[in-house]
Chains A and B, each alone.
Chain A
Amino acid sequence: MHAFGFAAARTLPEALRLAAPDSAFLAGGTTLVDLMKLDVLTPDRVVDINRLPLRGIRSTRDGLRIGALERMSDVARHPAVHPVIAEALAQSASPQLRTMASIGGNLLQRTRCGYFRDVHTPCNRRQPGSGCPARTGDNRTHAVLGTSDACVATHPSDLAVALVALDASVRLVSHAGERLVRLAAFYRLPGDTPQVENDLRPGELITEVVVPRRPWARHSTYVKVRDRSSYEFALASAAVALDMRGGVIHEARVAAGGVGTVPWRLPAVEAALRGRPPTRASFEEAAASAADGARPLTENAFKVTLLKRTIVRALMSLEGGS
């Protein structure tokens, strides 16, 4: 591990003051410490933010507000939290990691692409311009949607998929002030600059996550398909929420994980569900467009079919459709 200076901030202004161009905030450390051990991340200074008061899980008029330092395990258990969020969290990582890891850190976790994690191989995301061995190499777990010639790495967060489905935003604070950014707009497609993963500015903190108030979104679920039944990242996952009125789908929210370079919202699938009865036939018809635009790689073409089936399964488990 490269040497770094350590400081623990007690207040938000102190944290912002301690942040420097080459510093990193430390929350649960389950991404940061891991990647520092691998020399993938080499900050000059680590600012421990765990003593900041970025806590609390509250239902308010604006919606559900979750402090950035709330731990995954605590959020997953909280009664105010939508099932799709709780289930996405409960199926993430392991109990110990969920006890440690924060909501803010989760949204900023880095891809699990083996080339990104190995400093002895090229990677455009880690070292811009060095190349992408994943395009022709080990790419079974990689993305089929939102990829570019420069990068095909999958976004790993389950929580982010649930939050993107529910139109959640993150509140960001820096010296320049405060802003609320929709999570779907926060993440960047890799394009020619895969090293730019999101809209976070240097020294900026996530202070909370805000999920808009929408009572019907409690009718929601998260289905995750993976190589083993626990403690594994998604090959494909689906976050779905349905607003049922008079036996017909009035509104739908659908997003997918494990298949995209960013959490993948599926507006076309949502549109195809509107006004339809909750049957397997309507679900299959709607999911048919889920992988439109997919660019499968040498080893991951199976994800095109898997994605559609995962969405259908999620919708079926929610509605028990016939």
Chain B
Amino acid sequence: MGGETPRGGGLSRRRFFGTTAAASAGVVLTTAPAPAARAADDDGAVDVAITVNGTAEKLHVDPRVTLLDALRERLGLTGTKKGCDRGQCGACTVHVDGRRVLSCLTLAATADGRKVTTIEGLADGDDLHPVQRAFVECDGFQCGFCTSGQIMSAAALLKEGHAWTDEEIREAMSGNICRCGAYPGIVEAIKTARRAD
């Protein structure tokens, strides 16, 4: 799933269009090592070293850039979706150091030194993660826009080790809105993935 867009070097189509988004205007890739002091350069940008889906990445970003925009516009990892961009829908859910967070409310600058996992990094090659497989099996989606966020949230939920009844699963998944209303399938998928685990 990963690696569909080149990470370094040339200007990809995605990156070209990405630069039209105001929030990502300041993102530039750099090969320079991160300085010891965690403060902004003269240009106001900050160096961020993050591990994304197991790959070490170095970014030189305007501090306004969210982790969501850095992933999508800079690293070409567009599996993480921008829904509301206000922390209200959960479409942008990723794992930071193994915990589920909203990448739209995370400044990329604060992810320095952290490990990020996105939907692209969940599968083991072509071998889908049990939650991914269960979403396919149980019809845990319709249009698919919220799905990567749902799956990232569900994968974290299984690791958190709580929410056993349908009602508890719904509560533990309440941070992920599905406008198609695929909720029954999503609950089934989570129970199926848990059994498969």
Chain A positions within 8 Å of B, measured between CB atoms, are 1, 3-8, 10, 26, 28-30, 33-34, 36-37, 46, 48, 50, 93-97, 99-100, 229-231
Contact = CB atoms under 8 A, between A and B. Distances in A.
B126 to A, nearest CB: 28
Contacts of A36: 64
Contacts, number: 91
Given A6-B63, A96-B100, A26 B107 contact: yes
A95 B155 CA distance: 13
Q: Looking at A4, A10, A36, which has the most chain B CB atoms within 10 Å of its CB?
A: A4
Nearest to B167: A229
A4 B44 CA distance: 8
B23 A1 contact: yes
A229 B170 CA distance: 10
B59 interface: no
B174 A100 contact: no
B50 interface: no
Given A33-B66, A95-B153, A3 B44 contact: yes
Given A26-B107, A95-B157, A231-B175, A5 B102 contact: no
Nearest to A30: B105
B87 A95 contact: no
Contacts of A231: 174-175
A10 B36 CA distance: 11
Given A94-B175, A95-B174, A99-B101, A8 B87 contact: no
11 contacts: A1-B64, A4-B63, A5-B39, A6-B109, A8-B109, A29-B110, A34-B105, A46-B63, A95-B157, A99-B101, A230-B170
User: Which label, helix, strand, loop or mixed, suits the secondary structure of the A interface?
Assistant: mixed
A100 B40 contact: no
Contacts of A229: 171
A252 B59 CA distance: 54
Given A7-B40, A8-B38, A95 B100 contact: yes
B90 A4 contact: no
A94 B90 contact: yes
A99 B99 contact: yes
Contact of B110 (A3, A26, A34): A26
B86 interface: yes
B40 A6 contact: yes
B100 A8 contact: no
A3 B23 CA distance: 10
Nearest to B103: A96
Contacts of B57: none
Contacts of B99: 99
Q: Looking at B39, B105, B107, B175, which has the most chain A CB atoms within 10 Å of its CB?
A: B105
B93 interface: yes
Given A50-B110, A95-B157, A230 B174 contact: yes
Nearest to B26: A3
B107 A33 contact: yes
A8 B63 CA distance: 11
Contacts of B40: 5-7
Contacts of A50: 110
A4 B153 contact: no
Contact of B90 (A46, A48, A96, A100): A96
B109 A48 contact: yes
A29 B38 contact: no
B175 A6 contact: no
Interface string B177-191: 000000000000000
A100 B106 contact: yes
Contacts of A97: 87, 102, 105, 175
A3 B64 contact: yes
Contact of A29 (B46, B62, B105, B112): B105
A272 B170 CA distance: 39
